[in-house]
Structure 1
């Protein structure tokens, strides 16, 4: 399927400002600031299995579009939410006050996190 694959982080914009806005500790901000990040996605129709590896930290989320699921955050919290399509290559997810939009454009996986008027963007390339 379209999203299935392994992606390596190429760039990120506004990381520290965003992390402070969502009250991430300075220790965690520094821990993940320059670590290598790999995202692996397995898509089967509307069902997704996503593994996010940042340094030694691994987050695994499994969900089906349109159905409530538990989503683990970088800080280890579990948040119930529903992922929805916004077009054929874009998924929107509301995690409490944070909106996450994940979009696939050619071989790039673009994650845009927004809280209030602060945006954090991660761009990963398929490997």
Structure 2
């Protein structure tokens, strides 16, 4: 149940380069750069609901069970099927253009998205 709760973004590294790689427009990148994104996670055993609240009221919510294929959606609205794995306390999943891991380190939610040599690392504090 370590992931459960509400988390607010504290720091992010590689934001601009990662967003450009995904083709996000410059004005949207600018709006999101200093936005304190909130992530809400509910967890019941291996079943999760993972919701991220973005600028201008945008919201992406994915429900999944560890080890089972689930319907997922990206912030851009792209729908895909993926299987979330858990190993060593880390959740990992492959999105269409990148891989993503989430873990709890020192009481913080650390999310790392990687596409080739471009890495976006976000650290959030629990609210």
What range describes the TM-score normalised by the shorter chain of this pair?
over 0.9
Aligned residues: 126
CA contact (8 A) 2:10 2:36 kept: no
In the alignment, structure 1 residue 20 sits paired with structure 2 residue 46: no
Q: Is the 8 A contact 2:100 2:112 kept in 1?
A: yes
TM (norm. structure 1) is 0.93
Unaligned runs of 5+ in 1: none
In the alignment, structure 2 segments of 5+ residues that lack a partner are none
Instruction: Report the aligned-residue RMSD.
Output: 1.1
Equivalent residue, structure 1, for 2:58? 57
Q: Any runs of at least 4 consecutive aligned residues in structure 1 with deviations exceeding 6 A, and if so which?
A: none
Matched, 1:85 2:86: yes
d(CA) in 1 for partners of 2:54, 2:22: 18
1:122 corresponds in structure 2 to 122
Distance 1:61 1:81 in 2: 11
Q: State the partner residue of 1:106.
A: 106
Structure 1 SS opposite 2:43: strand
In the superposition, the TM-score normalised over structure 2's length comes to 0.93
